Amino acid sequence: MEKVENYYADYDKKENLSFDSKVVHGALGCDPISGAVSFPIFQSATFRHRDFGVSTGYDYSRLQNPTRQELERTMAILEEGVEAFAFTSGQAASMSVFDYLKRGEHCLLCDDLYGGTHRIVEDIFKVNGIEISYVDMFDLENVKKAIQPNTKMVFLETPTNPMMKVGDIKGIAKIAHAAGALFVVDNTFMTPYFQRPLTLGADIVVHSGTKYLCGHNDVVAGMVVIKDEALSHHFHIQLKSLGSGLGPMDSWLIIRGIKTLSLRMKKHNENAKIVAEWLRNHPKVKKVYYVGFEDHPGYEMNLSQASGFGGMISFELDSEESARKLLSNVKMVLFAESLGGTETLVTYPITQTHEDVPDDIRRALGINEAFIRISVGIEDPQDIIDDLEQALNS
């Protein structure tokens, strides 16, 4: 089909701008036709062809949509990749990543993972003939030993959800590539504000866009960003065939969320440090898992590859009773699943995010009835602490 003028074809990658400016100005930023400063929401399922054999470059929104494209281009700019793809959820994004594997191939994953990712590989891909294994990726020797002749993908979260283990992105990339495998990093916790895995050797970055990218707990979304154009076809086919592309309204909300990503991440980072210190000194808290503590085993590694620690903390209380008390009695802090929004959330992994992970695996990691995950929001940190204190003492 012949293409006519596409006003959205060319955009500036803004390589001369700093990250804080890139988040605000996106790819095109303004609408090139009307000049609208807020990029339009193209709430259209299909696009008119002016003549036989003539297209504007947009045909049908399952394939491409200018609003989704603006988000995808923005994410490619921020993660320093060649192309990005926006999905209806982080799970849909991960599904498309694992769908790259063929029957008989092996995928190696870190042993601590978001429960939904564990469910995808166990209940769908393993059942369909993909070999799956897990290893603690903090130690590179473990990764080397776990590589098999048919390993085609290595998948890392760093820091992990919920145990906050750190993996060496550069080191694992070398091992994966020597084995001829793709290296995928889930960058949900750090976001490109703190960590850009594609610049450290990863081939694919995946995100739950629901979290910090959106930032306001009002959209479920996922992102994939790739470093090599050779991967582009796979993800285009996935979006085109599965129809799992993010809708225009939700794409716009994520574009808007990203505009304040830098401001929010700075505040999450500051607040989490204060809350983590307070937790560590609380008599009812047995252990705090936070990558910003100098005595965290992954502290140095995290600092070598990320410019901050993020807003996530996990901790173990002295008893199940204390955990129940905390979850039942918080007032400003919200007892809810998810993370990365402006509001501080407390989550109970054993019955929420990691419900489907087998109990022996959960217990070996340290996820028990007294274990809580907190996503520290951007409120006044003293209000967060006061609320947690009153809930623990109720």
- Residues making contact with ligand PLP (CB under 6 A): 89-91, 114, 116-117, 157, 161, 186, 188, 208, 210, 220, 222, 353
Q: How far is CA 127 from the centre of its chain?
A: 25
CA distance 53 to 1: 5
Least distance (Å) from ligand PLP to the CB of residue 94?
6
Least distance (Å) from ligand PLP to the CB of residue 88?
8
Least distance (Å) from ligand PLP to the CB of residue 123?
15
Find the catalytic residue in 99, 112, 186, 387: 186
Give, to the nearest 10 degrees, the angle between helix 320-329 and helix 381-393: 120
CA distance 276 to 282: 10
In which residue are the tokens 């850009």 written?
A: 196
- Residues whose CB is less than 8 angstroms from the CB of residue 379 and which lie 6 or more positions away in sequence, other chains included: 271, 332, 342, 343, 344
Q: Is 211 a catalytic residue?
A: yes
Give which of 302, 287, 339 is closest to 115, Cα–Cα: 339
Find the catalytic residue in 8, 58, 114, 212: 114
In which residue are the tokens 């009153």 written?
A: 390
- By C-beta, is 151 or 161 nearer to ligand PLP? 161
- Residues whose CB is less than 8 angstroms from the CB of residue 135 and which lie 6 or more positions away in sequence, other chains included: 108, 109, 110, 111, 142, 143, 145, 146
Three-state SS for 307-347 is: CCCCCEEEEEECCHHHHHHHHHHCCCCEECCCCCCCCCEEE
CA distance 261 to 25: 12
- Residues whose CB is less than 8 angstroms from the CB of residue 10 and which lie 6 or more positions away in sequence, other chains included: none
- By C-beta, is 284 or 362 nearer to ligand PLP? 362
Q: Is 58 a catalytic residue?
A: no
What tokens were used for 251? Answer: 């794409």
Least distance (Å) from ligand PLP to the CB of residue 269?
17
Least distance (Å) from ligand PLP to the CB of residue 281?
28
Q: Is 145 a catalytic residue?
A: no
Find the catalytic residue in 11, 59, 62, 386: 62
- By C-beta, is 305 or 322 nearer to ligand PLP? 305
- By C-beta, is 208 or 262 nearer to ligand PLP? 208
What tokens were used for 148? Answer: 């098999």
What tokens were used for 18? Answer: 């700093």
Find the catalytic residue in 196, 211, 256, 373: 211
* Secondary structure of residue 183 in the 3-state scheme: strand
- By C-beta, is 213 or 391 nearer to ligand PLP? 213
- By C-beta, is 195 or 322 nearer to ligand PLP? 195
Least distance (Å) from ligand PLP to the CB of residue 51?
41
Q: Is 20 a catalytic residue?
A: no
CA distance 235 to 223: 11
- Annotated catalytic residues are 62, 114, 186, 211
